[in-house]
Amino acid sequence: MENSGQSNNNEFLVLSDLHLADVEDNKDGWMYYKSSRFLYDRDLYDLVDRFERSALNRKAEPVLVLNGDIFDFDLITAYPKNKEFKVSLFEKWRGLHANSKKSAWKLGRILDNHPIFCEALALFLSRGHKVVYVLGNHDREFHFDEVKQVFLKRLSVIATGLGLEKGKLEVEFRPWFYYVPGAIYVEHGQQYDHYTSFRYVLEPTVRIGREERLALPMGNLSNRYLMTKMGFFNPHASDFILNLYSYFTHWVKYYAFSIRGLAINWFLGSLVVMGKLLRIRNKLLSKPPDMKALMQRESATAGLEITVLQKLAALQRAPITSRFFRILREFWIDRLLLGGLMATGTVVLALVPIPLWIKLMVPLSAFPLAYFIYEWAIQGENIHTFEKNLPDIAGKIAKLLDVKVVAFGHTHRPRMVPLGRNTVFANTGTWAPVTFGPPPGRLKQGLRNFLHLRFEGAEPIVKLGSEMDLDGGT
């Protein structure tokens, strides 16, 4: 890894949260975010090409950094019909398990649907340029060597077919962060979000039966086992965070008069997610990995002292599995139990010999008031809360390391915040379809973001751009 001295002859293009998946076109708008109408592969191709040419024109070396959630394995519900491996009834219902063989099959399916993006990477690599892949939470499957090999083999086949390959194509995979002293620190950002943080980001697997599977956090499990069964919600836009009334109106609008189901899928999916979370947590706690060896290996690769890595790790959030009540709340189990208690109380009041006005007033006024007080007192964090802390976290990273830019993804909200003289924090937004209005809607402007960092002498030139802007070039 190129980590010695200030590499200001490099130019960096950072992309994150592409969420490439297989394509589905459903007439009723189900999973509309996977529709072919939102494909943007040609725009990606053109952006990478413009970046490469502009860097070379300035006699700089272009470096493409793919900062996590480039592919979205959680949204793939298909499975092979040719029996190339065993698929359980549960997997046919809820999607394949996240082991090496099945994740490799999923990646192959995604790549089949995005040949233009693959061609862009193959061209870039075949010309001798560097691609760095920082793993996120939705593409943590690249932890498996078999998945990496499927990716690299596909790019190599494309490059060879175009007659462009100049030797073996290599991508630098980074499980935690990418760091170039004097220039840039890039991390996906899921480790600062307790819904999506891995307990052991350098060893994110757990043994289930006879196989190693990813120890998926709550956010990923929810996407796999809940969101894929609630396809009128867009998981990229967080439009599934609603109040009770809004959930009811959503059900009336999209489910009441269709063949799709909501309540049962939500209830069964919630039970599946909670069961898997607890199983993963117990297995990880009973047999943790050798963190000393993992940190020593990362120290050698990243070119940083272990003490610095430990300080970086201390900034991360523990997974939500350490707070069981919050899990119950996220799946509305606490409100379901509260509703059951209130219904039971109403029945009890109806049966006991007390004045009628008490039988009526308590369920109609006291119970609703108690519910609203409970909601106010216990609301706590949600998936947006941690975003407020990201600039502070980036500032602490900038103080630990000699960098001009600290870049995260994950939140899907593009922004750039000064951290000090010639130092900034940037979030690279998303390329996933975030839309206005009911499904399928129209795309929101200002997304399909990229971060471009170059140097004029020692002076950093930083741009956070949008491919949807009229002047979206690098």
DSSP designation for 400: H
pLDDT in tens, 148-202: 999 999 999 999 988 886 667 889 999 999 999 999 999 999 999 999 999 999 9
CA distance 388 to 318: 17
pLDDT confidence band for 4 (50 / 70 / 90): very low
Among 306-315, 345-354, 375-384, the range scoring the smallest mean pLDDT is 375-384
In this structure, the strands spanning 184-187 and 177-180 are antiparallel
pLDDT confidence band for 241 (50 / 70 / 90): low
Cβ(107)–Cβ(150) under 8 Å? yes
First-last CA distance in the chain:
25
- Strand, coil or helix: 422: coil
pLDDT confidence band for 470 (50 / 70 / 90): very low
pLDDT confidence band for 471 (50 / 70 / 90): very low
Strand partners, 20: 71
pLDDT in tens, 16-48: 999 999 999 998 889 999 999 999 999 999 999
Give the mean model confidence (pLDDT) for residues 446-460: 92
DSSP designation for 20: B
pLDDT in tens, 247-278: 778 778 888 778 788 778 888 888 898 889 88
Residue 335 has pLDDT above 90, yes or no: no
The chain-wide mean pLDDT, for the chain, equals 89
pLDDT confidence band for 400 (50 / 70 / 90): very high
Spell 364-384 as b/e; 16+ CB within 10 A means b. Answer: eeebeeeeeeeeeeeeebebe
CA distance 428 to 452: 10
What sections of 239-332 are H helices per DSSP? 244-254, 263-286, 291-302, 306-313, 324-330
CA distance 189 to 177: 9
pTM of the model: 0.89
What sections of 352-446 are H helices per DSSP? 356-361, 367-378, 390-400
Among 234-238, 284-288, 329-333, 352-356, the range scoring the smallest mean pLDDT is 329-333
Q: Residues 308, 313, 314, 315: is their CA dihedral positive or negative?
A: positive
pLDDT of the residue at 169: 85
The fraction of the chain above a pLDDT of 70, given in percent, is 93
CA distance 166 to 225: 43
pLDDT in tens, 53-70: 999 999 999 999 999 999
